[in-house]
Structure 1
């Protein structure tokens, strides 16, 4: 039976939201997770692999709830486990079965005692002074008001924080444009061994589920060999188009990432709708191109399309600290560290003209994310986690990956439960105590 007042309410059931709700509930809080889809999992339920649990030195920099989810998927033969890589921009890849993510994430949430409300999204918030008091959620029942001691925005787009009046920035500083979006899709009847042999950049070798030997399970490269065809048939507007894809099972590509939709605002309903339409328009051309021209994909067919285009960047909430690209490049350490990350700065050009990376230059090959980045500048009883935390556009290009989002969600959930129990505003929490609890729960913060 759902109630209308909780200790902690988490808005958004993607990777950050799963970790936030789990951590808050395991800390003893009564938790409600609100999710717009019919399942939890977000981007992980699209088939996109988890990347960079490890830094370039081979040290694991994300664990805790994220590692627990991976272990449970592995037990169900729904993950190949962590595969260390060499060369390229990735330090590790963890292939996952997106349908099992939906099952396992939901099981974990229910085991924790968390209430889950699907087909629901936040559409308004009530703030008194600078304190967030309640939210309004919309679903088939109409509009319902919910109260909580602390709220966590894990919507990705900072929707709840925006409705609460938090300040934010969006897009790159020069023109406000956000990174390009991608519509992921799954292909069946693919000769993966043959197809991936064409893209030899940093092969990632493992034995797929159902296979009897190891081979490259990952495509990472450009469609340069087909530039003439791509430009002639107007599949993409630029040559040397990027493609990434990978699998954990025989005869399928669990995800393909090559569609690129640029110059659209993913936090605007009208532009987001246009982006969805454009993504499927490109997909029709892409599958015909793959069938006709790429060996190993002659019989490939679409078995599923991501439930909503993948958005890399929208709102970034103004927090008590703004993490910068320089912080990442230098591998900065912070006294109020709540999560670590070893992923590069990975920018998909907002105008759709390619992709590039900048690597961490510190000896440790990783950096800290401080607690202040998840605390909005002036709104109390609210935390943010996932890709809407307080960063510059450049820094977001590193912090937005799923393991980082789960680490941030775990920290936010633990902090929210503490704040609700103590009747305290999150910005005034004892950071040393929070860090001690995170370490006890398996998080990597040192």
Structure 2
């Protein structure tokens, strides 16, 4: 009897220990989407519409990426090529602002109708292209509810844990919390391309040489000025003006930029798209950042003292007396040269880089609003502005998402280059369209041979007409992975990506990726082998715009 009781007790202990150990939770769906960006949510909506089970794994709590994080002055380009669910998003923006209750800080008639190259409000098409951050986020949340989407938030891909792969196929991925997600198809909708990289798919970081894809505007572009975001006066770069031994001011590299047209591993600058307001009842004074050093902005003082007066030129108006404030000028919101490590960095390192960008940008606004050396007229006007009290409420009114303008870019069998964007080459198997200019922000800040500070990398070349984007640019090489689609970090050269990387295009490509994934499941084929004719018909039925002809 005693032996029996001992055995029973031992079994109870084993049973308790088994359940006390953390168990890896497993989740299954037809399509697994990594990233809560606009591309990710739109892809999930389309997958659900096509009858597929879908799970969204979002590292972020807030959905919608940049569209929900300050980029409300939409980079539309030619709005006629924005179709499908992307257009639905902008129609919902229009519907929201038709309600009087949406205009709580100004009258609708006071707002005006300024958009980026197009009217903000298009009554004929019932679309609106300019919006507040919380409106975009709410539309994304409405998509989730209406389509019964399952979204797992604050779930980060475990980049140290090798993906479960078999015969070039992703079987599952694991997150840092220990959850495992199994799917037939996977979509990487992140700005960084972390899932793509974990799947060992080929990618590139930095600028290619012009010779790589027979381009003109890739690689180093020293003393090429197309947007005006350069030093137009001779500004001394040294801590003590004229004294080289005093060292360079913060943010100026001691290295030379390199030969024009050659490759490097540097990135165009990141920033936050700030939502500011001049409405006193909704305004918060610019806060002093955790790591503030006024000497970090000495170069800006020299710019102002040279007579530069364009500070408020990119305080683009969005509804309710708010702005989408973007970089503008030689020294502005872009933290030039401080993001090179970001794409490949660990999560811990990325947080440091993100925090440094936040401190720099908050410090910049605090400096201009408070430092006694600032030009008085500019400072007085700036004090009318502050962070919007009713935006980003759980983040001290600061945007959730850093503007990661470019990180990894896939290298597939077809690489979008400036030749396709500028209409010099035709695009096979189109799945959507873009129309924005070739657009790169500055990449580095250096000292010229004459001994003055200058920026490099700022390019803006207008696309002569809308262009198509190839299906092959969102799928990896077949020899690398057969069930992954990459609509955000797609296969594109640096300079072509400067046009493609717009939020409406990401939505378009997200929808197309989900449609292709569903077709691959139904036809039991690799994503590279699906019938394009069938995909084309599906996309046209979804009112996607694929070519100028349609």
C-alpha distance in structure 1 between counterparts of 2:265 and 2:116, whole Å: 34
Gaps of 5+ in 1: 192-228
**Equivalent of residue 299 in structure 1, options 369, 384, 396:** 384
C-alpha distance in structure 1 between counterparts of 2:511 and 2:536, whole Å: 11
Cα contact 2:405–2:501 (8 A) shared by 1 = yes
Cα gap change, 1:53 to 1:299, in 2 (>3 Å): closer
SS at match of 1:172: coil
C-alpha distance in structure 2 between counterparts of 1:13 and 1:381, whole Å: 20
C-alpha distance in structure 2 between counterparts of 1:159 and 1:320, whole Å: 20
Residue 186 (1) aligns with residue 275 (2): yes
2:299 maps to 231
Residue 284 (1) aligns with residue 360 (2): no
Cα gap change, 1:188 to 1:133, in 2 (>3 Å): same
Cα gap change, 1:414 to 1:394, in 2 (>3 Å): same
Structure number with the higher strand fraction is 1
Rg larger in structure: 2
Greater shift, 376-385 or 322-331, is seen at: 322-331
| CA deviation vs aligned residue, 1:374-430 (integer Å, no higher than 9, x gap) | 0111211111011x0001111111111101111111100111122123332111111
Residue 169 (1) aligns with residue 220 (2): no
Residue 326 (1) aligns with residue 405 (2): no
Residue 360 (1) aligns with residue 463 (2): yes
Q: CA deviation at 1:177?
A: 0.6
Gaps of 5+ in 2: 1-24, 104-110, 119-126, 209-262, 281-296, 371-375, 389-396, 446-454
1:380 maps to 482
Paired residues for 1:380-399 under 5 Å: 380-386=482-488, 388-399=489-500
Cα gap change, 1:186 to 1:288, in 2 (>3 Å): farther
Cα gap change, 1:395 to 1:373, in 2 (>3 Å): same
1:66 maps to 86
C-alpha distance in structure 1 between counterparts of 2:112 and 2:190, whole Å: 27
Q: CA deviation at 1:348?
A: 0.7
SS at match of 2:514: helix
Cα gap change, 1:5 to 1:107, in 2 (>3 Å): same
SS at match of 1:305: coil
| CA deviation vs aligned residue, 1:156-184 (integer Å, no higher than 9, x gap) | 11100111111111111211111111122
Cα gap change, 1:345 to 1:366, in 2 (>3 Å): same
Residue 146 (1) aligns with residue 181 (2): yes
2:530 maps to 429
1:370 maps to 470
C-alpha distance in structure 2 between counterparts of 1:373 and 1:102, whole Å: 28
Q: CA deviation at 1:96?
A: 1.3
Q: CA deviation at 1:314?
A: 0.8
Residue 43 (1) aligns with residue 66 (2): yes
Q: CA deviation at 1:186?
A: 2.0
| CA deviation vs aligned residue, 1:175-230 (integer Å, no higher than 9, x gap) | 11111111222223259xxxxxxxxxxxxxxxxxxxxxxxxxxxxxxxxxxxxx96
1:75 maps to 95
TM-score, reference length from structure 1: 0.81
SS at match of 2:36: coil
Cα contact 1:374–1:412 (8 A) shared by 2 = yes
TM-score, reference length from structure 2: 0.66
Residue 275 (1) aligns with residue 310 (2): no
Cα contact 1:61–1:444 (8 A) shared by 2 = yes
Q: CA deviation at 1:85?
A: 5.2
Q: CA deviation at 1:331?
A: 5.7
**Root mean square deviation of aligned Cα:** 2.9
**Equivalent of residue 321 in structure 2, options 245, 251, 268:** 251
SS at match of 1:261: coil
Q: CA deviation at 1:290?
A: 4.9
2:255 maps to none
